[in-house]
């Protein structure tokens, strides 16, 4: 088990470096001038923010590896059915797994996030994530250890009820990380035309989550804007703020 844990952890670190550290160096360090028109907040981050984000990211990586190790163990015991070969049990199963995962995760994120903003949960746990007022990609994993667990436990019911291939499982993890990166990159790459399209009316933007870091008590949703609209937690000027960012000028 120790050997498997080390492999999972090493893969997690490599994934973190590619998905979060690399965009940080590209957009925040190497070419900030090229993407300055896409920047959501003009204010510079506070000095201690990055070391704090990195420290909590490291503990999140350890907790994430332990959870993935437990998933491996539960799969070995036959409690989960993660099988080898994408489509080997039919593509319909993979498609269903994909849709179920994102619908469940999105709903789970909204409601667990609402809970994390209540009393003790906010003061002792979620406050860590909110120390990043202008988040960098490293904030994507900047969680108190309790929140690191909360942010991943939805995997257990999904995998229990939803058999899927190992390849789909990996794809879901990577796509979830990219979604997380989008909300914490500090830049909004969503084209205005996409936002104005039929799909855009359904979905959140990176600006949506960035505003959550600025104002805290609104915009709890992750992908589907409907949760915030339905439960009246959408910040009133979210759409206008997105337009303001887009009207700063063209990309490059
Ligand atoms: Zn966040
Ligand atoms: Zn929050």
Residue 237 has pLDDT above 80, yes or no: yes
Say how many Å lie between the CA of residue 131 and the centre of ligand 2: 10
Range of the domain at 174: 2-185
Say how many Å lie between the CA of residue 53 and the centre of ligand 2: 15
Q: Is residue 232 part of a domain?
A: no
Q: Is residue 243 part of a domain?
A: no
Say how many Å lie between the CA of residue 129 and the centre of ligand 1: 6
Q: Is residue 32 part of a domain?
A: yes
Distance CA 14, CA 121 (A): 31
> What pLDDT, in 10s, does the model give residues 155-197?
999 999 999 999 999 999 999 999 999 999 999 999 988 888 9
Residue 252 has pLDDT above 70, yes or no: no
Q: Is residue 227 part of a domain?
A: no
Q: Is residue 225 part of a domain?
A: no
Distance CA 68, CA 1 (A): 12
> What pLDDT, in 10s, does the model give residues 111-153?
999 999 999 999 999 999 999 999 999 999 999 999 999 999 9
Strand 82-83 vs strand 164-165: parallel, antiparallel, or unpaired?
parallel
Q: How many domains does the chain have?
A: 1
Distance CA 58, CA 138 (A): 10
> What global pTM score does this model have?
0.93
Structure tokens at 49: 């923010």
Q: Is residue 133 part of a domain?
A: yes
Say how many Å lie between the CA of residue 234 and the centre of ligand 2: 13
Structure tokens at 80: 């989960």
Q: Is residue 197 part of a domain?
A: no
Give SS3 for 203: strand
Residue 76 has pLDDT above 80, yes or no: yes
Residue 170 has what pLDDT? 97
In percent, how much of the chain has pLDDT > 90? Answer: 86
Q: Is residue 127 part of a domain?
A: yes
């Amino acid at each position: 088990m120790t050997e498997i844990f080390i492999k999972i952890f090493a893969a997690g670190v490599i994934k973190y470096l590619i998905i979060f550290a690399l965009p940080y160096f590209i957009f925040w360090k190497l070419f900030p001038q090229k993407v300055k028109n896409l920047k959501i907040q003009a204010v510079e981050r506070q000095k201690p923010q990055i070391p704090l984000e990195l420290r909590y990211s490291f503990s999140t990586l350890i907790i994430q590896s332990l959870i993935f190790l437990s998933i491996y163990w539960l799969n070995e015991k036959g409690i989960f059915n993660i099988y080898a070969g994408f489509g080997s049990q039919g593509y319909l199963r993979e498609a269903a797994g994909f849709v179920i995962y994102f619908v469940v995760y999105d709903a789970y994120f909204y409601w667990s996030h609402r809970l994390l903003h209540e009393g003790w949960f906010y003061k002792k746990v979620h406050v860590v994530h909110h120390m990043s007022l202008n988040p960098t990609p490293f904030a994507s994993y900047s969680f108190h250890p309790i929140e690191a667990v909360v942010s991943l436990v939805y995997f257990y019911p999904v995998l229990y009820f939803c058999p899927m291939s190992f390849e789909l499982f990996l794809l879901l993890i990577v796509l979830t990380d990219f979604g997380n990166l989008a909300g914490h990159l500090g830049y909004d790459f969503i084209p205005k035309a996409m936002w104005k399209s039929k799909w855009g009316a359904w979905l959140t933007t990176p600006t949506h989550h960035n505003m959550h870091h600025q104002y805290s008590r609104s915009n709890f949703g992750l992908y589907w804007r409907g949760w915030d609209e339905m439960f009246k937690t959408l910040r009133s000027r979210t759409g206008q703020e997105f337009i303001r960012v887009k009207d700063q000028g063209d990309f490059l």
